[in-house]
Amino acid sequence: MRRMFALTLAAAALAPLTACDTLQTGTESNFSFKLDTDDRLFPAPFNTPIAAGFSVDVETYLASDTSKTAEIVLAQSLDQSIARVTGTTGNRFTVEGRQAGTATIEVKGPGGGDTVDMSVAELAKVKLTYPGLLLVPASPPIYVAEGGTAYFGVTLMDATSRTLVGYGQFPVTITPSSAGAAKASTDVAHLAVTFTETGAVTLEPLGESALEVTVVPVTDIATLAFEVSAAQAITVNGSGLVVVRGEKDDASKVFGLSNLATVTATTPDTCRVEASPRLGDAVYTVYGKASGACALTATLGALSADATVTIQ
C-alpha cells in the first residue's frame, strides 16, 4: 500500500541555549569549550556535571572568535581520579567521569594552551521517554516492530534530580531479557534498543519509572507515513528533518523502524537524505542541493510512502 504526502520540509529547529550557557571560556581566555550535546532537545550548559562512569565529548573554539575551531594537540586531566581524557581528534576531546568531584582539564593547541574545570557527579536516576517525542500516544500501548531498533529519550540525574550528561551503557533492565538488547550509547540523549521477539516488554531504568512497550510483527504494519519534525522551509545548502512511522490498521503508530525501513531521495540533483539516529527514532536529515521539488520514498517490504519536499 502506498500513501502520498505533500510536505514543506521543516528546518531542524532545536531551541539552543545562549552562547553564555553552552560555551565556557578557559581560565587563560585562549579557548572556549562546549559540550557536544546537540542531539538533546536543548543542548546542555557546559557546567552540567558528567555522570560518573560515562563520557562526554568536548569541542574547542578560539575564545577570540568562537566561530573558529581550535585544533587540540594535547588534552589531559590534572586529577585522573575524578576524570580522565580518553581521546582527542581535531578540535574535540573525550572526557570520562570517574567519581564525584571537580577536575581541571589542561588543553594545548598549536597557538597556546588553556585550562577548564569539569565536574563529575554520581548517577542515581535514569529517566526514559518513549520514542518519537510528542508523536507517541499519552499512554500505552506503545508498539514497536520486531527486529527493529527504537530510540528512547534518556535523562541522567543525580540523587537531587539534577541533570547530568554522558554516554555509555545506560543502566536499564529489559524484561524478558530475551525480548531485546540495549546498545551502549554513543550519544547523550538516546538509548537504542533492538527488539527480538513479540509480546509485552518492560524497560526498567535505574531509580525511575519503567516503560512498557508491545512488540508486534512487521506484518502488523499496514501503512508507512512521513512526518515533519520542525517548522521552517528548507533552503539550498540547508537541512531539515523527516520522520518515518509505520501504522497498524487502527492507525496506531509502530516505532522502531530505524534499521528496517529504507529512505531514499529520488531527485538526487535537488536533495539527499541520510539516517540520523542520534536525533531519535526513524529520523532522517534531508539536505537541500538545488531549488525545486525533493522527492522522498520510504519502503518496508511491500509497503511504501512518498513525500514531496520543497527546497527554496
Give just the sign of the alpha carbon dihedral 301, 307, 187, 239.
Answer: positive
CATH of domain 125-219: 2.60.40.10
CATH of domain 19-121: 2.60.40.1080
Q: pTM of the prediction?
A: 0.85
Helices (H) and strands (E) in the chain, counts: 1, 28
Identify the CA nearest to 167 among candidates 50, 312, 10, 272: 50
Domain parsing of the chain, residue ranges? 2-13+221-311, 19-121, 125-219
The DSSP symbol for 21 reads: H
Name the residue type at position 127.
Answer: K
DSSP 97-164: E-SSEEEEEEEEETTEEEEEEEEEE---EEEEE-TTGGGS-SSS--EEEEEEEEEEEEEEE-TT--EE
Q: Which CATH architecture describes the domain 2-13+221-311?
A: Sandwich (2.60)
| pLDDT tens for each residue of 9-55 | 333 333 344 455 789 999 999 999 999 987 776 789 999 999 999 99
**Average pLDDT value over all residues in the chain:** 89
| pLDDT tens for each residue of 121-158 | 999 999 999 886 545 555 667 899 999 999 899 999 99
The DSSP symbol for 48 reads: P
The torsion defined by the Cα of 195, 200, 201 and 206, in degrees rounded to 10, comes to 160
Indicate the SS3 state at residue 93.
strand
pLDDT confidence of residue 19: 52
Task: Please report where in the chains the cell 577536575 appears, as a residue.
Answer: 103
Identify the CA nearest to 118 among candidates 153, 165, 163: 165
How would residue 219 be classed by pLDDT, with cut points 50, 70 and 90?
A: very high
Same fold flag, 2-13+221-311 and 125-219: yes
